[in-house]
Amino acid sequence: MNSIFVIGHKNPDTDSVCSAYCYAHLKKKLDSSNEYVACICGHMNRQTKFIFEKLNITPPVYVSDVFPKVSDIMTKEVISVNLDDSIFECMKNMENMKIGIVPVISNGNKLNGIVSYIELTEFFTALTNRNRNEYIIKPENFAKSINGFFLKKGRKSEFTGNFVVGAMPYDKFKERVENIPSEKVVLIVGNRKKIVDYAIQNQFAAVILTGIKKLDEIDADFTSYNGWIFISELSTAETLSLAMLSVPVKSIMNTRIPTIKYSDDVDLARFELSKSDLKGLPVVDEMGKLVGLVTRLNFISNNKKKLILVDHNEYMQAVDGAESAEILEVIDHHRLGAIKTKTPIYIYTKPVGSTCTLVYELYKANKVEIDETIAGLLLSGILSDTVILKSPTTTNDDIQATLELSKFLGINYVDFGAEIFSVIDNITVGNPEEVITSDIKIYNEYGFKVGISQIEVVSFSLFDLHKDLLKTALFNIKKANGLDWAMIMVTDIIKGDSLLLCTSFEQAEKIIPYKKIEDNIYLLSGVLSRKKQLLPEILRILEELSQTRK
């Protein structure tokens, strides 16, 4: 089942959040083969929080970006081995599962290292080096790699030792082991009494008797012996080879490996793997626990996030990483931007005052009944975006939807609208930069980059108290975002007028059609809508300026 994100624009307003929630709910009703997840890519404003709390609804999931993550492509069912497992077991897993890398874990699935063909090659190459003859010995592993059984178990469960083969004359054997501490010797020998008795007398760490078919073949008294005794049915040569493979993987694992987290971007994982000689890298969570594995084959799969955009249709306003995602649908009431897709997609757009109006129409078109929760959210989105149907963007479709929804809920929409506007963000909430960036939209048009923010108030007196701080913050935002022009539209929803505070832009200021009341501040009489009233004028100005450049 695919996860499809239904998501609004950056700096989400009430219409954006409510339409995302309600459209995801509709898609779940229409399509059970996919999982539709309502998301937001910014923090909700006070008004939106109030609405979700009033209706007792859990808000949409916050998504910081939709770049493909390691968790989207990794293999989740990973074959691993524990620190004390034998090299033999590790090799069997690699052969049976046709894999080239095995993570090594300890208690709680904590990643400790990996074993790959590189570590195995180094191990077998080292066997030919006479100077390297000490290994971590874990006698319990004998039974996991050698056909046989324990006759007696010793006291030490693990030690560093040497594998010594007793296949030479007794005198030569004594000469060979005299310089090796007895507690480090693992003797591999056939049924050779003198050598076995020497091992018992000197309390070797372990004795592996080879080629034994029946216990009565053993001519030795192990009563006084405190070490390990293992009986192998195989020849001495075969037993030696398999005994070497009983060495625990922790003695050969590679601990110096790049760490990849499940939350890392796919591009970062691809880069880390490209620098490595390994065929794959383990994936860990924030606690360092193994959660998956990434190999070169994983990057071949389609790992793009799937999106449905609501209340916007331009990458500049979309969640970070939208360019790398697969856009499936667009539900919007704004002008069309420049999003390009590789395949045809479903687009539903109309010049109405609210995206929630469009979502409501889609419920009716698909004959899906709404409940009080969905009705409350849809009505909230419409009233918020149309300023209780006062905005010039309001259409008959918005009015009809408002009347039908308020009737269904049994409430007066004017009273409900007044209630939700009583908790709108205002200039006194947060620092000035947060006030501006909470609902800023950035446009790249005619060679200019412009940021337009909007905030609604119930009196311009609040603006007068904070305009100097807002002006400083606006200039800082212009610089930080590389804007040619930055502005905030302060709308008095009671009077139905707006004030426009903007950064200096001499060429534009000469042709701006609004009344200048002081430096960088203009009166916009009867202007409530950024989208329908202010933006077209700003775009006209930019177009005119672009022509004078030629």
**CATH number of the domain that residue 156 is part of:** 3.40.1390.20
Does one domain contain both 220 and 242? yes
Does one domain contain both 139 and 196? yes
Q: What are the two backbone dihedrals, phi and then psi, of residue 276, each rounded to the nearest 5 degrees?
A: -100, 155
Please count the residues of the chain: 550
Does one domain contain both 394 and 481? no
**Which residues, other chains included, contact 86 with Cβ-Cβ below 8 Å and sequence gap of 6+?**
138, 141, 144, 145, 245, 246, 247, 248, 249
Does one domain contain both 123 and 16? no
pLDDT at 431: 83
Total domains present in the chain: 3
> What would the DSSP string read from start to end of 21-77?
HHHHHHHHHH-SSEEEEEEESS---HHHHHHHHHTT-PPPEE-SB---BHHHHSBSS
Does one domain contain both 121 and 246? yes
Whether residue 295 lies inside any domain: the answer is: no
119 in Cβ contact with 94 (< 8 Å): no
Whether residue 273 lies inside any domain: the answer is: no
Going by C-alpha positions, the residue among 503, 397, 403 that lies closest to residue 450 is 503
Which of 251, 273, 292 is the last residue before a domain boundary? 251
pLDDT at 210: 94
Q: Any idea what the CATH number is for the domain that residue 335 is in? A: 3.90.1640.10
366 in Cβ contact with 26 (< 8 Å): yes
Cα–Cα distance measured from residue 380 to residue 50, given in angstroms and rounded to the nearest whole number: 11
User: 355-365 vs 396-409: helix axis angle to the nearest 10?
Assistant: 70
Which of 251, 285, 317 is the last residue before a domain boundary? 251
Q: Any idea what the CATH number is for the domain that residue 451 is in? A: 3.10.310.20
**Which residues, other chains included, contact 67 with Cβ-Cβ below 8 Å and sequence gap of 6+?**
265, 266, 267, 305, 320, 321, 324
Whether residue 74 lies inside any domain: the answer is: no
Does one domain contain both 542 and 453? yes
334 in Cβ contact with 357 (< 8 Å): no
| Structural domain that includes position 453 | 432-549
pLDDT at 337: 81
The angle formed by the CA atoms of residues 415, 416 and 420, to the nearest 5 degrees, is 120
Whether residue 299 lies inside any domain: the answer is: no
Which ranges of 60-149 would DSSP assign to H, the alpha helix? Answer: 70-73, 87-97, 117-126, 142-145
Does one domain contain both 359 and 413? yes
pLDDT at 550: 61
pLDDT at 129: 63
Does one domain contain both 232 and 94? yes
Which of 421, 441, 473 is the last residue before a domain boundary? 421
Position 195: which residue type?
A: I
Does one domain contain both 11 and 53? yes
* Structural element, H or E, at residue 81: strand 81-82
Does one domain contain both 104 and 237? yes
Number of C-beta neighbours around residue 418 at 10 A: 13
Whether residue 132 lies inside any domain: the answer is: yes
Whether residue 79 lies inside any domain: the answer is: no
Whether residue 310 lies inside any domain: the answer is: yes
**How do strand 101-106 and strand 81-82 relate by DSSP bridges?**
parallel
360 in Cβ contact with 403 (< 8 Å): no
Q: What are the two backbone dihedrals, phi and then psi, of residue 77, each rounded to the nearest 5 degrees?
A: -90, 95
pLDDT at 125: 83
Residue 307, strand partner residues: 5, 327
Mean per-residue pLDDT pooled into runs of 10, the chain (550 residues) = 92 95 98 96 91 96 93 90 95 88 92 92 77 82 94 94 91 90 94 93 95 87 94 94 94 89 90 86 92 88 88 93 94 87 92 97 97 97 94 95 98 93 68 86 93 87 86 94 95 88 93 94 93 92 86
Does one domain contain both 233 and 114? yes
Buried b (16+ CB within 10 A) or exposed e, 42-71: bebbebbbbbbeeeeeebbeebeebbbbbb
Which residue shows structure tokens 């009944």? 369
pLDDT tens profile 227-265: 999 999 999 999 999 999 999 999 999 998 888 999 999
pLDDT tens profile 159-188: 999 999 998 999 999 998 988 999 999 999
* Structural element, H or E, at residue 281: strand 280-284
Q: What are the two backbone dihedrals, phi and then psi, of residue 5, each rounded to the nearest 5 degrees?
A: -85, 125
Cα–Cα distance measured from residue 115 to residue 102, given in angstroms and rounded to the nearest whole number: 5
Does one domain contain both 97 and 232? yes
Whether residue 194 lies inside any domain: the answer is: yes
